[in-house]
Chain A
Amino acid sequence: MKKAFPILGVLTAVLLSYALYLALEVAPREQTMGDVQRIFYYHVPSAWTAFLLFFINFVASVQYLVRQKPQTDKVANWVVMAIGVLTCIGAYVMKPLPQGMYPSSVVTTGIAIVGFYFLIRKYFSEPETDILALTTAEVGVVFCTVVLVTGPLWARPVWGIWWTWDVRLTSTLVLWLIYVSYLVLRRFSTSGQTPVLAAALAVFGALDVPLVYFSIWFFRTQHPQPVIGGGGSIDKRMLHVLLINWLAFLSFAVLVCWSRYRLERMKRDVEETLALEALLEPRSSVR
């Protein structure tokens, strides 16, 4: 594992440089917006990465909450499996599906929920799920910040305004605020119940993610309709550049999460050692 980190680091650097080259030089120039449309290759992958990180935060938080009691844990396993099966069946039985949903995307979501749930359960202990939740929330906020900064920089030359209070933009801002409040809670609360409270907040906060994602289908918004999987069309070369950029940012996110996760583990180990030492100190002075 020690060797994997620098290897992934080098791979990510190469991938990010290649993705940047593709975005600026290889991707075709969009006819209406011109070169400013190339912000798309940073804006959209950052949003997808943030959603994925918040989703992992949600699953890790649920894991942390249900593992408080063994019985709840068992029930949760069955509930998650039922959700997975019902989602897959529902994707083909329910007709028509709500706008913006396709059988393949619904099945993928169902499999992702079950997959992530049991993967996290297998590889992370109860305290580790808490660290994973904290890590993904923090890195997710960074990516969400990128979305909120690059969005207005794209909107100004195209819409003529920096910001508008439409559903997609407002719900994204609310999502960012929810996770910032989550981090503030974790940073400043000294209660022993902080991880439980934070996990509960994360579960409710994650409900905003589908609202952000589907808002452009359910409401009239200034934000453009999706060009992928929403009936829109995108040039194949643009799609290729977009996916390479997403892969690069995903790889970068894994790397940053990995570093943050190690740092948090180290911090908790140090705190534990210091607390133990403080407990033992009076005894040794009596002797």
Chain B
Amino acid sequence: MTFLYAAYAATWLIHIVYLVTLVRRYSRLKQELDEFNKKKS
């Protein structure tokens, strides 16, 4: 059972890590856009 739970946990860990990188990339981009808009106005 240990290997089964390890495999399932690893699967979700990989997906969650990837989703976190997506969120971080999105917030960085949004920040860049906000700075640009502030500079423009």
Verify that A and B bind, or say they do not. Answer: yes
Residues of chain A touching chain B, judged by Cβ–Cβ distance below 8 Å, are 20, 35-36, 38-39, 42-43, 46, 139, 142, 145-146, 149-150, 153-154, 156-157, 252, 256, 259-260, 263, 266-267, 270, 273-274, 277
When the two chains form their complex, are residues A267 and B7 in contact, meaning their CB atoms are under 8 A apart? no
Find B3's partner among A36, A263, A277 (CB 8 Å cutoff). Answer: A36
Contacts A35-B4, A36-B3, A274-B36 given; does A263 touch B11 at CB 8 Å: no
B36 CB, min distance to chain A CBs, angstroms: 7
Q: Name the one of A20, A39, A142, A252 contacting B7, with C-beta atoms under 8 angstroms.
A: A39
CB distance from A116 to the nearest CB of B (A): 24
Q: Which of B1, B7, B14, B40 contacts A43 (CB 8 A)?
A: B7
Query: Whole-angstrom distance between the alpha carbons of A142 and B3 in the complex?
Result: 20
- Report which B residues bind A (CB closer than 8 A): 1, 3-4, 6-8, 10-11, 14-15, 18-19, 22, 25-26, 29, 32-33, 36, 40
Task: State which of B7, B19, B33 has its C-beta within 8 Å of the C-beta of A150.
Answer: B7
Q: A263-B25, A263-B26, A266-B29 are in contact. Are A146 and B11 (CB under 8 A)?
A: yes
CB distance from B18 to the nearest CB of A (A): 5
CB A31 to nearest CB in B, in angstroms, measures 16
Total contacts A to B, CB within 8 angstroms? 63
Q: Does A267 contact B36, Cβ atoms closer than 8 Å?
A: no
Using A35-B1, A263-B25 as known contacts, say yes or no to A256 and B19 having CB atoms under 8 A apart: yes
Give the nearest-CB partner of A270 in chain B: B33
Distance of A20 Cα from B22 Cα, bound (Å): 24
Chain A residues with CB below 8 A from B22, complex form: 256, 259-260, 263
Query: Can you list 14 A-B pairs with a CB-CB distance of less than 8 A?
Result: A38-B4, A39-B8, A42-B8, A42-B11, A142-B14, A146-B14, A149-B7, A157-B3, A263-B22, A267-B25, A267-B29, A273-B36, A274-B36, A277-B40
Say yes or no: A36-B26 contact (C-beta < 8 A), given A42-B11, A142-B14, A149-B10.
no
Smallest Cβ-Cβ distance to A158: which chain B residue: B3
B34 to chain A, nearest CB (A): 11
- The smallest C-beta distance from A285 to any residue of chain B, in angstroms, reads 14
**A150 to B6 alpha-carbon distance, docked (Å):** 8
**A155, closest chain B residue (CB):** B3
Inter-chain contacts of B3 with A (CB < 8 A): 36, 39, 153-154, 156-157
Residue on B nearest A255 in the bound complex, by CB? B19
Q: B residues within 8 A CB of A260?
A: 22
Question: How far, in angstroms, from A266 to B26 measured CA to CA in the complex?
Answer: 9
* Contact partners of B7 in chain A: CB under 8 A: 39, 42-43, 149-150, 153-154
Smallest Cβ-Cβ distance to B18: which chain A residue: A142
Residues of A within 8 A of B19 (CB): 256
Select from chain B the residue with minimum beta-carbon distance to A141: B18
